Amino acid sequence: MITFMGFSQENTIGKIDFLGTKKMNIDFIKNLIQTKSGGILDSLTIKKDIQVLQRLNGISKVNFSVIKTFDNLYSLSFTLIENFTIIPYFSASTTSGFGAYRVGLYEYNFLGKNNTIGGFYQFNEYNSGGINFSSPQFFNSKFGFEINIQKLISKEPVYINEAKSNYKYTNTSFEVLTIFQVNYQNQLKLGVVLFNEKYNYIDGAKFAEISQNFDINKQLVKAEYSFDNVNFDFYLVNGFKSNLVFQYVVPNSNSQKKFLIGWNDFLYYKRLGSKGNWVSRLRLGLATNNNNPFAPFPVDNNLNIRGVGNIIDRGTGAIIFNTEFRKTILEEKRFVLQGNAFIDSGTWRNAGGDFSDFTSQKNIRVYPGLGIRFIHKTIFNAVFRLDYGYGITKDASNGFVFGIGQYF
């Protein structure tokens, strides 16, 4: 536990030491924090700097100490507990239908400068993959960039008047984003995505209004704003976070229309006692209401509703609410066993539909469930989760969802 004492405005920092560093680049850390040698010793600034450092992928915990060296001259020491950051990625799910999984390997603190680099392979009845690189502070402490290249293939159901068909959907994309850190709580991203979409009929009903095969190139302009006021104490979190995304999509074909899509994720974390965490996520999303069966908001196991299945439907609007209580069952020096009880719920607006779709019994899904977490305190994102969701709404399914990292 950290205790902050009031410092006089005349107190000056003689030097700053960083203890416990193994992989983190010290010059990189110095450029990130506001506290500087020769500056005023201020407890509020130190508190903000600790929050900044604890949000870095390579650091799990930071403490500090102050020693008076001469008159009003002080020595400040930050003691860091670093994360191990070369991490395999794995997620899997199974319902009454087929199973799906994703495996990968990522380095989340490449060169000790909070860079992420890695790639993944996905099987979802088809073979997919991608590579990713992100460097939020590549140019300086405020400016960076992100590159994502991927090819994702999935089986997409299409429903028209209760009739169903299945399509093979292939999305090949190249994304470049610039990143701007306004301050330690606010971040902006702006960039473009060049991508190709292919749809190939597999089986089921054939619809005259939908081509059985088509291939379209598209461009997408993306803007993202994040507000982050979340504090970490190893695996326990407290605070509020908001992430707003807007996208404008332009097809290189007259067969599809331009459209806008936007959504906001609101995340709330509340510590309950020393071992409990209540966490919730609310997503509100809308897109241009084109009558397109391949709408932008999916209903999927790994994205929003645990136990529902792998991309079972899509819509042009979404209201999703996830809430869960996490409770520490067993805690050792480095390992934690955590249980959780959750309720995942959501509703969608059908493509070409209206806002009354949100209250339609057919579109509302509610899935309570139970899960367990195996957590390592000093390995970045080393949360191995297994959840079982059981649907209680009309025509519901049930199933397991396994992954690395908390669900939200």
First to last CA, the chain: 26
The mean-pLDDT minimum among 7-16, 293-302, 309-318 falls in: 7-16
pLDDT at residue 358 in the model: 96
- pLDDT tens digit sequence for 278-295: 999 999 999 999 887 778
Dump pLDDT digits (tens) for 140-149: 999 999 999 9
pLDDT higher than 70, residue 304: yes
Q: What is the pLDDT of residue 125?
A: 85
Q: 76 and 288 in contact (C-beta within 8 Å)? A: no
Instruction: Give percent of the chain above pLDDT 70.
Output: 96
The two beta strands, 73-82 and 12-19, are parallel
Cα separation, 199 vs 157, in Å, equals 11
pLDDT of residue 67: 92
The helix/strand/coil state of 32 is helix
Query: Over 50: is that where the pLDDT of 2 sits?
Result: no
More confident residue, 5 or 348: 348
Q: Averaged over 70-84, what is the pLDDT?
A: 92
The pLDDT, as a whole number, for residue 98 is: 56
Torsions phi, psi of 286, nearest 5?
A: -140, 150
Here the tokens at position 160 are 């028209």
Q: Quick one: tokens of 17?
A: 């030491």
Q: 100 or 406, which is more confident?
A: 406
* Mean pLDDT within 252-278: 92
CB 303 within 8 A of CB 315: no
Distance CA 185, CA 325 (A): 25
Residue 3's pLDDT is what?
45
Give the angle subtended at the CA of 340 by the CAs of 386 and 383, to the nearest 5°: 50
Span 20-48, mean pLDDT? Answer: 93
pLDDT score for 394:
87
- Count of CB atoms situated within 10 Å of the CB of 44: 11
At 1, the pLDDT band (50, 70, 90 cuts) reads very low
Provide the 10 A C-beta neighbour count for residue 30: 14
* pTM of this structure: 0.82
Tens-digit pLDDT profile for residues 335-360:
999 999 999 999 999 988 999 999 99
Q: How many CB atoms lie within 10 A of CB 354?
A: 10
Token pair belonging to 357: 């779709």
Beta-bridged to residue 322, according to DSSP, are 281, 344
How far from 332 is each of 259, 278, 384, CA to CA, in Å?
51, 21, 16
Q: What percent of the chain has pLDDT over 90?
A: 71
* Residue 297 predicted with pLDDT over 80: yes
Q: Which domains does the chain have, with CATH numbers?
A: 12-82 (3.10.20.310), 86-404 (2.40.160.50)
What would the two tokens of residue 339 be?
Answer: 């249980």
